[in-house]
Structure formats: structure tokens, C-alpha cells
């Protein structure tokens, strides 16, 4: 992966790279397995740059973890460029391998997609979803891009179906902490981290409510914990009080992602709301 810059003021290459958010780790990797060129000539990070110099940065090649087993299945790709790939995943799939589900994760599926196209890239998960939550997931095509994406604000919207009847709009403002008796489960606790979730009730379906949800913070299991907290657990969420005989995963789907692209400096909005509404209604 290559980046090209026209220099606007005299400074050292290392200083310039740090100003562009290149981490020490990335700069070190470039020195060992990448390249820095100024006006077409190889240089080190100690090179003094002059105005109008052209700096080319070739990122180091990455090698996927040997623990990843790429597999080949059709990806639902919503957006792709040289830096990012954004896909929609189904429920019952991990974003990354876990102790209980070693393979067939989304990151392994994306790695298979790269391999199938002879693309020498390693996917890095930027936004995660629980195994049993469906919808949009953002992956970076290099660790440096992953680092940049972690510096920016990413807005997310979800659809969910909760038990009981909700009306209008609301803000759930309740801190979330780990449950003292579980390494997985979370709970509302005054000792937890500040957590805010906005919701809007869209439609009643029997004794259930379809809601659009926006995260104002990003805590683990936030939507699931907050809806349990207000007495309306998500349908199918047996970890947080929504156990259902028909649905064995929470009816929760990420339907929109928006952010400012860290390289292109453009606003990116990825939305599969209409497909999501159809999908989530088909689950009822």
C-alpha cells in the first residue's frame, strides 16, 4: 500500500510521518519491510525534507496469523476501496475466531476473498458485532488504516425487536460494567462506564416493538444491556432476559455506519436499512 505526499515545509521525514498519524510501530515496520522515497530516491526517516519534495511511503507487507484459516463463501460487500472493505454479516458468525468457534469467522471469510483475488492484504476488524448480531462490519486492509480508523468517530444505527410495547423516543442513560459472576455478561452498575443509547419505536408487532437505535457510546453488549434495563429485553436474547422458543439469537442488526474517511477525507455513509427491515420482519 502506497501513500504520496507533496511537502509544504522543511522538516525531517520522521516528524512528517508522525504528524500524519503514523505510529512508531508502523514507522519501524516500514524501515524493515517497506520503503521511503523522496523524489524517487530511497531515504531514511532522518532525511531532511524540502518544500515541494515528493515523499512516497510504501507500507510494510503484513502476514496473516497462521491461526486464521481462510474460507471461501460469498461476501455481502457494501463498500470497498483501496483501504477499507465494509460487509454485512449474518447472525451465527463470529467477527473473529474465539475459543468456542475457532474458524469460519468473518475475518477468515474476508481473508479468503483476498486470497481468491490474489490480493496480498490482511484484514483488520474496525467495528465488531456479537456473534448473534447481524449487519454492517468495517474492516481495514492494513494495520495502519486500522490505526487511523481507531482515531475517528464512527456513528452506528441499529434495528432491534424488543419484548413489550414501546412508544415514541427515548434516551437510556445508564453506566455499564462487567457482571461480577461472568467474563462475558455485562450489567448496569453505578460503578460502570458512562453509556447512552437513543431509541425510536417504529412499529408494534403483536406484543413486540421494532425500534431504531443509535449508540452514543460503544460499550460491550450496550443495546442488549440497556433494553433489559428498561424492561424490554431483545427478542431471542437469552443472555439478557429475552429467551424465545422461536429465535435463538437476539433480533438485532446494524443497519448504518457513517464516518469521515481517514485517507479520502470524505463522509462515508453505508446504509442497508431497507434490506434490514425486510430481513428483520422475516424473522418474526
For 9-28, letters b (16+ CB in 10 Å) and e give: eeeebbebbeeeebeeebbe
Give the Cα-Cα-Cα angle 148, 153, 159 (nearest 5 degrees).
125
Integer Cα distance of 96 and 174 in angstroms? 28
Integer Cα distance of 248 and 57 in angstroms? 48
Query: Which single residue is written with the C-alpha cell 424465545?
Result: 244
Q: Could you tell me which residues come within 8 angstroms of residue 67 by beta carbon, excluding any fewer than 6 positions away?
A: 97
Integer Cα distance of 80 and 270 in angstroms? 11
Please say whether the beta carbons of 139 and 124 come within 8 A. yes
Residues serving a catalytic function are 130
DSSP three-state, residue 28? helix
Residues in the chain: 284
Which residues make beta-bridge pairs with 57?
A: 3, 36
Look at residues 163, 166, 192, 167 and name the one whose alpha carbon lies nearest to residue 177: 192
Integer Cα distance of 273 and 157 in angstroms? 9
Amino acid at each position: 500500500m502506497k501513500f504520496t505526499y507533496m511537502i509544504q515545509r522543511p522538516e525531517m521525514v520522521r516528524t512528517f510521518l508522525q504528524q500524519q498519524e503514523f505510529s512508531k510501530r508502523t514507522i519501524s515496520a516500514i524501515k524493515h519491510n517497506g520503503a521511503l522515497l523522496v523524489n524517487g530516491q530511497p531515504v531514511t526517516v532522518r532525511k531532511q525534507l524540502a518544500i515541494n519534495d515528493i515523499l512516497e511511503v510504501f507500507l510494510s507487507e503484513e502476514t496473516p496469523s497462521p491461526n486464521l484459516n481462510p474460507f471461501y463463501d460469498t461476501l455481502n460487500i457494501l463498500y470497498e476501496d483501496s483501504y477499507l472493505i465494509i460487509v454485512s454479516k449474518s447472525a451465527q458468525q463470529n467477527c473473529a475466531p474465539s475459543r468456542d468457534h475457532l474458524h469460519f469467522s468473518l475475518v477468515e471469510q474476508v481473508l479468503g476473498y483476498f486470497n481468491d483475488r490474489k490480493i496480498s492484504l490482511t484484514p483488520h476488524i474496525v467495528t465488531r458485532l456479537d456473534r448473534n448480531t447481524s449487519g454492517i462490519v468495517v474492516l481495514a486492509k492494513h494495520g495502519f488504516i486500522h490505526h487511523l480508523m481507531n482515531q475517528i468517530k464512527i456513528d452506528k444505527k441499529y434495528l432491534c425487536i424488543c419484548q413489550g410495547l414501546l412508544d415514541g423516543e427515548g434516551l437510556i442513560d445508564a453506566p455499564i460494567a462487567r457482571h461480577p459472576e461472568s467474563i462475558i455478561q455485562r450489567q448496569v452498575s453505578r460503578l460502570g462506564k458512562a453509556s447512552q443509547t437513543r431509541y425510536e419505536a417504529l412499529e408494534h408487532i403483536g406484543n413486540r416493538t421494532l425500534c431504531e437505535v443509535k449508540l452514543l457510546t460503544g460499550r460491550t453488549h450496550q443495546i442488549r444491556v440497556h433494553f433489559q434495563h428498561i424492561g424490554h429485553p431483545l427478542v431471542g436474547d437469552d443472555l439478557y432476559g429475552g429467551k424465545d422458543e422461536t429465535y435463538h439469537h437476539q433480533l438485532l442488526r446494524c443497519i448504518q455506519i457513517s464516518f469521515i474517511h481517514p485517507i479520502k477525507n470524505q463522509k462515508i455513509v453505508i446504509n442497508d436499512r431497507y434490506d434490514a427491515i425486510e430481513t428483520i420482519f422475516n424473522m418474526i
